[in-house]
Amino acid sequence: MNTPIPPPGTTSLPPLQLAVRGMTCAACVSRVERALGRVPGVARAQVNFATEMAFVDWAPDAAPDAPALVEAVRKAGYDANEQPAETLDLTQAQPWWRVWGPALLGLAAGLPLLAPMLMGLHHFWPAWFQFALATPVQFVLGARFYKAGWAALRDRSGNMDQLVAVGTSAAWGLSCWVWWRGGMDLYFESSTLVIALVLLGKALEARAKRQTTAAIRALQALRPDTVRRLGPEGEVEVPLAQVLVGDLLAVRPGERIPSDGVVSDGEGDVDESMLTGEPLPVRKVPGDAVTGGSINAESRLLLRVTAVGGQTMLAQIIRRVTEAQAGKAPIQQVVDRVSAVFVPAVMIVALLTAMGWWWAGLGPEAALVRAVAVLVIACPCALGLATPAALMAGTGSAARQGILIKDPQALELAHRVQLVAFDKTGTLTLGRPRLVEWQVLPGQQARWGDRALAIAAALQSGSEHPLARAVIDAAADRAQVDASAVGDGTGRSAHREAEQVSGLRTEAGRGVEGVLADAGGGPMRVLAA
């Protein structure tokens, strides 16, 4: 359940972010939100199961207290630490053996117990061998379920781990009891395979979480790890985290602008499509503002840093995408209410199932087997993951297309939209120019003919300007110029060996000039405008 949501505008500080580890289902989300909501000064606490992140809004008159939040989460049975937006690293890739190892070990122990049964050999393995395989799985690989289930019980709540722990313990205990009585029908394979399959589900869940955060990681990748800072000792490469407001940074052609700033020296085009969506670079001169994450297209720039860390425009974009993915659509709020009573309801249904079959005359053993079946099939994994994963996939896909969704409720309400207004070009287009028509100068058709486009592409081969790439792509589409040849900067055309140029030189604001080999040594110019 959510803590009360304050009216818009009642909180001025950005949400404090916590990385929360150890959650296993939607009930865990409710427990963490309740624990955070009880901390004095908290106006709203929102937890995302898929990203394992918590976002806490403070009351206007409250002072943020991150240690108190971390302690509240730990008392609830989970691990937490503060995670600023500028250092956000969601669902970090773990070694494969840590993710898949427990599931593979569980399957290695459970499949030998199951295989004879599939062939009709129901009492193939001796009881001691089944006990030897099942016990380590139950109490070593399954220890996480006992630990998490006990923590939830102390908090007077329920979670999926309790269902797994109670169900598999009942199957394992029943098998030991039947073995002690000299019976043959054991259920060690059931307890072993249930734990193994739940662990396999958790491994697949971890993979799904990793994939759903790809959009945020792509935004984070726009920030370089190191920068070149100018100081008394000259140009020194330092980590981006050490950059301060007022520092002077050098950015070479082709590099990303490391942080928001103002051009101090140099002049050149900067690709700001990641921010504005506009396909063409913007000319920057001393005094112009630049945004971290954009690309310096053509010449060396010196910039004076004006914002770092979480204050940069890129960090704010990442924060907005993250908060949108953490938000809860109306359907997710329904899921939260259901999950709060799901586990107790399943326990009651399992108990009634056992009592009903016992009273029907099947005996305690058959009644317990049916109760265990109710417990193990009710593990609400998808209950907590399906909706947030769908929201993250939608907002992540939109972010890759340059669309930032600020409120997840908009996704549920989108089917009611009757009219859409688009602000500018670039919103509906591909975001890159395309050559649709070209002409040879009057009187030159007989001399150059179809070679003109190939020559233009060869002249533009050393440029990364969007208009230059449009010429090259058009020539390649006409099968006149090999795309790989003109893209390597050599200026060679695969169509005619004679179409070779040398001395490529860019004239700012006019175009590219080069010498064509069979043009009598005279220069031939093509304008990029």
Q: Catalytic amino acids?
A: 423
> What order do you get walking across the sheet with 248-251 strand by strand?
234-239, 226-231, 248-251, 301-305, 261-265, 289-290
d(CA 455, CA 445): 14
d(CA 495, CA 483): 11
Phi, psi of 478, deg, nearest 5: -85, 5
d(CA 125, CA 134): 12
Q: Is-contact 36 73, C-beta < 8 A?
A: yes
d(CA 450, CA 447): 9
Q: Cα–Cα distances in Å, from 125 out to 139, 267, 491?
A: 21, 79, 74
**CA quadruple 365, 368, 369, 370: dihedral positive or negative?**
positive
Q: Where are the beta strands (DSSP E) in 193-324?
A: 226-231, 234-239, 248-251, 261-265, 268-271, 282-284, 289-290, 295-296, 301-305
Q: Where are the beta strands (DSSP E) in 435-500?
A: none
d(CA 424, CA 196): 53
d(CA 529, CA 523): 18
DSSP 3-state assignment of 320?
helix
Q: How many CA atoms lie within 13 A of 328 on its CB side?
A: 26
